[in-house]
Amino acid sequence: MSELEIKRRQEYKKNRKKWIMIQIIALALIAVIALGSFLIYDRMNRTYYIEYTESSNIDYKVQYKENEFFKEEWIGKDQEYIASLINAISADFNYKLDIDTTGVGFEYKYKIDATLLVADKNSGNPYFTVTNNIVPLTSTSARRSNNLEINESVMIDYNEYNDIASEFVDTYALKNSSSTLILTLDVEVLSTSEQFEQSNENKYSTSLNIPLVTETLNIHLTSSVPESESKVIAYNGAESQQAFYVVGIVSSILAVILALTLVVFIQITKNEDITYEARVRKLVNAYSSYIQRMTGDFDSEGYQTVMIKTFTEMLGIRDTIQSPILMTENSDETMTRFLIPTNTKILYTFEIKVDNYDEIYSRHENVEIVESLDGTEEALIFEENVDAEAVAEALAQPDVILSEIEYVPDDDAEFEVAPEEPGVEVVGVVWPERSKNNKVYRYDPNGEELHEGDMVLVPTKDAARDREVIRKAAISHGNHRVEPEHIKHPLKKIIGVIKRKAESILSSSADSENKDNK
C-alpha cells in the first residue's frame, strides 16, 4: 500500500468518524431539548390545587365624654354603652388571605363606607339611607406572595350621625323605627393568573353596626368572609406553557430527521474496508476464548491449505481436533486469516479481506500521457478535480530547471521539527517569475517523496487573469516538516511529478557514455 493510499485511508476514516460524531452530538442535543420541553409541558399542564383561607376582623373601642363615673377615656369592645356619654368610636378593620403556596399574584381593591340607615323595626324596610365614603377606593397588588393583608383604622364622630338620625325621626314622628350607623369594609380580590379554572373573583364585606337614637347600645359585627374556612383553587398552566409543547414537537421532528440522516450517512459512507473491520471485531469479541492472536505471520511452508467458507465450520473443526484458532492480520490491515494447523500438515484457513481495496481509496483520476527522458511514454496521473486542459497547457510549457532560476532560499530550516514532534509536511517550490530573486512557495507534497531539483505541476493563481492556473515548477526544498503555527493559510497540493532530478542525472550520464562510445 502506497503512502498516499495510507494517507487517504486515514483521512477518510478520520473525516467519517468526525461527521458521525457531529451528527450524534447534534442528535443528542436536539433529543434532550425535545425531552426537556415535553417534561416541562407535562409538569406545567398538570392541574394543581391551591388551598387558601380567608379571615376578617374589626377591633373597635368607644371614647366617652368626660364624666364623673368612668375614669378611662376609651371603653373596650363587646360592652353595653351609654349613648349620651359617647364622643367617638375608633374601628380597626382587618382582612387576611393566606395561600399554601407562593407565586400566585393578586390584585385587590377595598374601601370603607359609613351608611346611615333609618328603617321600619318590623319589616326592616328603609325610610332613609345616606352613605359617606370615609376610606376611598384603594387598588394594590401582591406579586409572588402567599398572603395579603389589609389594615385600616377609622375614627367616627358618633354624635354627628346620631343627631342626623334623631332629627329625621323627630321630624317625621317615626315611632316604630330603628336607626343604625353601618361601617363597612368592602374587599374585592382578583387573582392575576388566567389559568384558574374556577371564578377567581371574590367580593367580601365586613360591617360594624352601631345603633343610633337609643339610650344604650350594643355594637355588633357582620361579615361575609368565611372565617378560617379552607378553600381550593384549581390551577392549570397548559395555556401559558403551549410554547414548550411546540418546541417539543419541532425538536422531535428534527431529531427524527437527524436520526435518519445519520443512518443514511453511515450506510453510504460504509465501504468494504470499514465493513471488514466490523466483521473482524465482531468475530473476535464473540469468540475471544477460542482465538489466539499471533504477533507475526504464520509460516505455512509444507502445509496443504484448505480454505473454509464460514467461521462456523472453523469452530466445528476446532472442536473436532481440539486445536486453537490462530489469528493473523497483514500489515496493511486489509486481510485477517484464521488458521487451524494440524499434525498432518493440513492448514484450515478462513479469510476476511477487502477484495477491491485498490478501488476504495484510489480516487477517480485523470491520466495524461507524457514523454519521459528516455523517449518512452509514461502516465502522469492527477485527480479528477483538476482541469485536464489546464494540465495539458502546463505540460506544453518549457521545462523548469532549478539551476537556471535565481531565487532566495526559504528560511524553513529555522522552523523544521523532528519527526516525532507535531508538524506539517511541506515542500519548497519555485518557478521563474522575475529576472531574479524569485520567491519560494510552500506546497503540500500530496503523498509524494520529492527532492531538490524535481520538476512538478502545481496550481497557482494568475494575478493578471485573476484565475487559477497550473504551471511547471521546480522543487527547491524537498519534503520537510515545519511548526504548525508557521503555516499561515491552507496549503495547495502538488498535482503531479513530471521529472525527478535523479532520473535527469542518470539520463545525462547515459547520454555522455553514448557520445564517448561514438
Q: What SS3 string covers 346-393?
A: EEEEEEEECCCHHHHHCCCEEEEEEECCCCCEEEEEEECCCCHHHHHH
Residue 205 has pLDDT above 60, yes or no: yes
Segment among 23-27, 131-135, 271-275, 452-456 with least mean pLDDT:
271-275
Q: 515: pLDDT confidence band, cut at 50, 70 and 90?
A: low
Residues 236-250 pLDDT 10s: 554 557 788 889 899
Helices (H), 224-271: 242-268
Q: What is the pLDDT of residue 428?
A: 92
Q: What is the pLDDT of residues 208-223, one digit of tens each?
A: 999 998 999 999 988 8
C-alpha cell at 472: 511547471
Could you tell me which of 274, 248, 263, 292 has the C-alpha nearest to residue 33?
A: 248
pLDDT for the residue numbered 393: 82
Q: What are the extents of the domains in the chain?
A: 3-45+241-268, 47-231, 272-357, 385-517
Q: What is the pLDDT of residues 93-117, one digit of tens each?
A: 998 888 776 666 667 899 999 999 9
Q: How confident is the model at residue 511 (pLDDT cuts 50, 70, 90)?
A: low
Residue 488, pLDDT score: 75
Report whether 439 contacts 407 (CB < 8 A): yes
Per-residue pLDDT tens over the stretch 151-171: 999 999 999 999 999 999 999
Give the pLDDT score at 375.
38
**Burial group, residue 125, by CB count within 10 angstroms (0-12, 13-18, 19+):** exposed
How many CA atoms does the CB half-sphere of 275 hold within 13 Å?
A: 13
Q: What is the pLDDT of residues 391-410, one digit of tens each?
A: 888 888 888 888 888 888 88
pLDDT exceeds cutoff 50 at 350 = yes
What is the pLDDT, as a whole number, of residue 327?
A: 94
Nearest one of 269, 276, 208 to 57, comparing CA atoms:
208
Rounded to the nearest integer, the mean pLDDT of the chain is 82
Cell of 328: 493473523
Please list, in sequence order, all residues whose beta carbon lies within 8 angstroms of the beta carbon of residue 121, skipping any fewer than 6 positions away. 176, 177, 178
Q: What's the pLDDT score for residue 197?
A: 45
Q: Identify how many contiguous H helices and E strands the chain contains and give both numbers.
A: 8, 24
**Confidence band, pLDDT 50/70/90 cuts, at residue 317:** very high
Does position 506 have pLDDT exceeding 70, yes or no? no
- pLDDT for residue 366 is more than 50: no
pLDDT, tens digit, 9 for 90 and up, residues 27-68: 999 999 999 998 888 877 766 566 778 888 999 999 999 998
Cβ–Cβ contacts within 10 Å for residue 337, how many?
20
Lowest mean pLDDT among 47-56, 303-312, 458-467, 499-508: 499-508
Q: Is pLDDT at 314 greater than 70 in this prediction?
A: yes
Question: For position 377, what pLDDT does the model report?
Answer: 40
In 3D space, the residue among 222, 236, 234 whose CA is nearest the CA of residue 52 turns out to be 234
Read off the pLDDT of each residue in 316-336 and give the average, rounded to a whole number: 89
Report the pLDDT value the prediction gives residue 462, as an integer from 0 to 100.
75
Predicted TM-score (pTM) of this structure: 0.42
Q: Which three cell numbers stand for residue 183?
A: 361601617
**pLDDT (0 to 100) of residue 231:** 58
For 15-30, the pLDDT digits (tens) are 889 999 999 999 999 9
pLDDT value at position 439?
86
Q: Residue 3: pLDDT band by 50, 70, 90 thresholds?
A: low
Model confidence at 1, pLDDT cuts 50, 70, 90, reads low
Q: Percent of the chain, pLDDT > 70?
A: 80
Q: Which three cell numbers stand for residue 152?
A: 385600616
374 pLDDT more than 50: no
- Output 490 or 318, whichever has higher pLDDT: 318
Query: If you compute the radius of gyration of the chain from its CA atoms, what whole number of angstroms results?
Result: 51
